[in-house]
Amino acid sequence: MPTLCRPAVAVPEHVITMAETLELARAVHADHPQLGLALRLIENTGVRTRHLVQPIEQTLRHPGFEARNLVYATEARRRTPPVIHRALEHAGLGVRDIDLIVYVSCTGFLMPSMTAWLINNLGFRSDTRQLPIAQLGCAAGGAAINRAHDFCTAYPDANVLIVACEFCSLCYQPSDLDIGALLSNGLFGDGVAAAVVRGRGGVGVRLEHNGSHLVPQTEDWISYAVKDTGFHFRLDKRVPTTMHMLAPAMRALAATHRWDVSALDFHIVHAGGPRILDDLCDILGVDPVMYRYSRATLTERGNIASCVVLDALDRLFADGGAQHAARGVIAGFGPGITAEISLGSWTTAAASGVPPAAAMATLS
């Protein structure tokens, strides 16, 4: 079975704290009639620090969509290669071993996709297949894992590279003053992540089952309005309640394969906000400690969109991983409202055939 190896993650060097975010909101939106509510919502996110691809002074200026998209392209090309090389090292592979690149991002637009640039500039084979995913938002991290799983199931000797690149700060819109926009301004952060799914061998999560679930008639709950000034993020006030619809889908997928989602050994889920994690604990009846990695990502980096599940998974690796054959779930949630869910079990060096020294390197 395919194995999801240890991810590599990087965040930009420009940091903004919760205190700085609240002070900015007070200064920029001093006359907003619902400023008090916005400040409470931002503070309740639990986010303590976020990383931005530009200094905050530049982030708050809007030079136009063309200029912002150029920043996206420039920074993506600068920041993804080191992360990709670390992910390949974790998996014990080189660029020539990769058969498919899945590139996910919802915060900039390029055509050809970044996959073409990566193949041309990092030494990947010219017959490497490309799968850009641009419109699944935060769910795209889970979707990338699932599509890599599907590909390696069809081609058991293949290896897939997943790259997630999200510069959410480039979507800041000074003219958007609704509560959802103000909350988003204090919630989202920037990051880059990559991981390899090996068709054979590897240490990490052996992917066994996956599935998708879309909640009917929720297309406008999370969306972009595309205007002359770029992407305008729209967040409906009903979004925090979505786990009441998506948690049952997680339970149903697990039950289809005779797994009990409430009795799993690890949970790696998208942390869109603290309400999501709190509701999952209640609805699925699991100990809050199960979401410590997702919560740490949210606290230290904010919502980094499709990178979240890879960042949370990296924290599991950094914590020593799980016991061999421990069962777990990985889930990304995003627009649609969509859930991308994966079930898998932990595989160690002894089970995968990876030399012990190489296996220890993936966990260090």
Give catalytic residues, as residue numbers: 138
HSE-up of residue 327 (Cα within 13 Å, Cβ side): 12
CA-nearest of 149, 230, 344, 200 to 131 is 149
CA-nearest of 341, 326, 104, 311 to 189 is 311
CA-nearest of 165, 141, 198, 226 to 10 is 165
**Contact, 74 vs 132, CB < 8 A?**
no
Q: Retrieve residue 118's tokens.
A: 């990566």
Question: C-alpha distances in angstroms, 290 versus 7, 139, 255, 298?
Answer: 19, 20, 19, 14
Cross-strand bridge partners of residue 316:
none
H or E segment to which residue 82 belongs: helix 65-91
Question: C-alpha distances in angstroms, 135 versus 14, 104, 171, 222?
Answer: 26, 9, 14, 11
Residue 133 sits at φ, ψ, to 5 deg, of: -125, 115
Cis peptide before 337, with omega less than 30 degrees from 0? yes
The burial class, CB within 10 Å (0-12 / 13-18 / 19+), for 351 is middle
**Contact, 228 vs 68, CB < 8 A?**
no
Residues, the chain, total?
A: 364
The Cα–Cα gap between 247 and 261 comes to: 9
